[in-house]
Structure 1
Amino acid sequence: MRIVIVEDEVRIREGFFKLLSKLGDEYEIVGEAENGRQGLEVCRDKKPDLVITDVQMPEMDGLEMLKAIYDEGLDIKAIVLSAYSEFEYARTAMKLGVTEYLLKPLNISDFSTALENIRHQMEEDKRKKPQAVGTLDQVMREIIGGRMTADDEVEKYLRKNYGIIGTQKFIILCDYLGNQYESRWQREQKELSNSLSFYEGINYLILDMEYRKSLIAIVYKYNSATDFERWIQFQLLHKLQGSSAMGFTECAGLDGISKGINDLYPYMDWNISFEKDVLISYPKITQVQTSLCVYPQDLEARMKTAICASDFALEKKLMDEFEESFHDGKVYDPREIKECFVRFIWSVIEIAKDIGNERVAELQQQKLLDSIMNAKLRSELLTVCSDIIDMLTVTEVTSDTETLTVKRAKSMIHEFYHTGITLDEIAERLSITPEYLGTQFHKETGENFSTYIRNYRIGKAKELLVGTGMKLYEIAERVGYSDPKYFSKVFRDVTGMLPAEYRKSLK
């Protein structure tokens, strides 16, 4: 029995190694993890018979991990451990189909009994196979998932019911839908099936694979792979007319189907490098000659200047220009294109954060950059860019709790900051005392008046440092500081860098 241990305490994981070695040679620990997210990856990779998991863990708890495992169709038995005797945990585990739920501290007798129950369940599952599997859809899912091997019994079953020979060749089509998978897969599956039904002499099966955001068509009867590939390229892709990517490969043997999918899938991002309606054919795609992908530094500099100037129309124009720069008739490696997107988006986020864009500052940058590197469609990259532009163009919104007095005070700061306007001068214009204005300003904004106007001036100075070639003394005067040395001191207090260092860091 192949086992994975998922437990955040290393001492307990080591204890399982010792305990299972004593209980019998049939128990083999093939992997371990310290949280549910790592555990999910280990289970995907190792495909164990059993996962022993704690409930309470960082990043992803044990029950969330099991739900993800079962959602992906991985047939893995589970023993759930918990230090809490709360019914909700047990009820959730039972909903997931977990039959063995044990409380910490672990009773060795109970644990041994749970292992024996799991072993009996596995034997019963094996005895019922393939009758319990039944349909071709289910058999293929089990084989692809590594939960079933194409043994004599399975091959006999497939030959008798579907005319499939274990050693024959198969064509694999990958229809990648990306972020539209959830809303489109059912409609796309019907359209794909209808289109394939017009091609005479083939038998096929279409599987939905949510974790790959794809539909996988397995063609198990055909005359010529070359003719079929040509038909897909010149007819099928035009019929579907969807914003998806289509991949093609041929593999040998039932056990080669999973490998074929795994070989093809990483190359689906080549759709980003081509124009629409190009079939990604593996292994042909590995021989494609590419041009050198040069990062558009000039566009980055112009974008920074536009952001600092709050020129929303120019920001949108430059983002469109950046996106189009990779579609100039040349073929670039998609990984290099995505690395350029990461670099460009990162620079946009950093400069926007630096000049005080609060919405951009709240972005989960790593999640955003991961979505770029995992993209396989040009539309997925465009969505990221569009979201960033939307955040850049949102104007400042004042709090509903601010009184008219404070709003007017902030408006005066924004209009006259460059003159060196003071709290006393604004209070006089508003016909109130400086003490009252200072108290209300701090109460409603959470900042002292002096801190607010200082940060506003430094923010404007950042815009000028990046977006213009003005000298430092000119910028100091422009934002309300008559003494350039004092301006440099304040700038360093706020940013940790001198103005010249800041300008150099963003060039």
Structure 2
Amino acid sequence: MNIYVVEDERWALAELKELLSCYEPEHRVFAFENGDDAWAAVAEHRPHLVVTDINMPGMDGLELIEQLYRLDAAVKCIILSVHDQFEYARQGMQFGVADYLLKPVKKEALFQAVSKAIRQIESERKQREAFLNSSLAQMLLAADEGLEEASAFREVNDRMWGMVLLYLERGQQSKGWNERSGCLDELKLQLADAVCAGASVHNVDVDYRQKVILIPLASEAQAGGLLNVLSGYYHHKLKQLPITAHMGFAVKRERESLSAAFSRLKQQLMEKATFGQTSYLSPASTQQDAELGDIWDKVRVMELHYKKGDMAKGQIVLQHILAELDRKRISKRQLRLFVQDLLFSLKYNLLVSKTGMVRLNDLQEDLRMLDGCTGYEELFEWLKELMLAFYCEQEPKELNPKGLIPVLLQHIHKHYQDNISLQQFAADHHVSLGYLSRMFKSQTGTTFSDYIAGYRIRKAKELLSEGVDRLQEVSLLVGYEDTKHFSALFKKIVGETPIMYARKHSLPK
């Protein structure tokens, strides 16, 4: 906050500046010997609070207060005068004077008046920001319907802005960007100083995962300074956070609506952002698709293992494929295309080998779960289940325990809510329980009971993410009648309680 002290007597000015230095460095104090000098400085450092004498050569205190009021009615003023006259106070009240102090001013009275004015300024600023940010959030998300008629909002759309979009991947923090407000406040100040000291920068919460910072631009050339600030923030702050986040920047052109600029920036960010890793998209970013020919060779090896019913080896190759994609830092767009082609290819080969003919409708796969994956671990779990679903539906060529593992996995996936018995399955298929149990662990990498528990908990996580918030209901839907046992098992496997998980991963109401 900028505090002006205006006093034509030098010794009194020096004393006032020394007294008010206790408000630094949180606030900046500027001293002027007359109203003309103070008014001339407004263009560079706009004041928030002015402590001024009345009788001064040139522009006197009341004239200065009037000019400031016409420029910005939010500026607060405190009058200092040796005259105990109602007329001065009356004139000052017309222009929002916060207090009237008689000289010689007592130190305690000065501190009390200044502190009170600062609190009032901050309170009013927060109220204005809350109202404006709420309106700006509407303008970002909608086509400005109902807002275009207001002159303030027409002014927002008519001018040029630098737009920063900060996007937090879903399910990583319960409070989103609000938990990192201090770090963002620092960024906001740096961006403001990059265009003009004290520039009015708006910090808009679109939702708990998306935040937009709007910086007023006089010309597009000022964007260069903003890009330098953002590059430093990305390398020194954003990449150090224990979350996956993406940041993008664009210039909102004059007379372009906020919603159009926001949609353009978000679409670019969602397509070009690096999957599973924190990334920064600037206007100069040029990202070419990675070469994936060597990965398709691994896909054929994985397909061969799954066709043979060797689930363990198939999953190992799948992990290698995803590790290679991670190393190549591919974009979300390229990942989506790769997964789409992968599933299409595997399904096509399966259907051709099974029926000899293929219908296009049979090759379609719902990729909405892919959109919910925030990293390669989640992507692996989703693809692993899809692979099992694909290949477990095929009739086993071997009626031995190894050939029965895909059948058993398919049975688990279809009946996980029920009481599944490995002993009963072994008896029904006339195989040794011990041998089947050992073969199951060999093929899946885990025991039968742990696999069922893990699969049920994954289904519980899906339900919690989709908004099913009653713990008893979730517990029953995944096959556990004892809610306490389910909650304890969930915490053991996931590392947090179902309620904590739901708060982080479900969309806010």
TM range (shorter): 0.3 to 0.5
* Greater gyration radius: 2
Superposition TM-score, scaled by structure 2 size: 0.42
Superposition TM-score, scaled by structure 1 size: 0.42
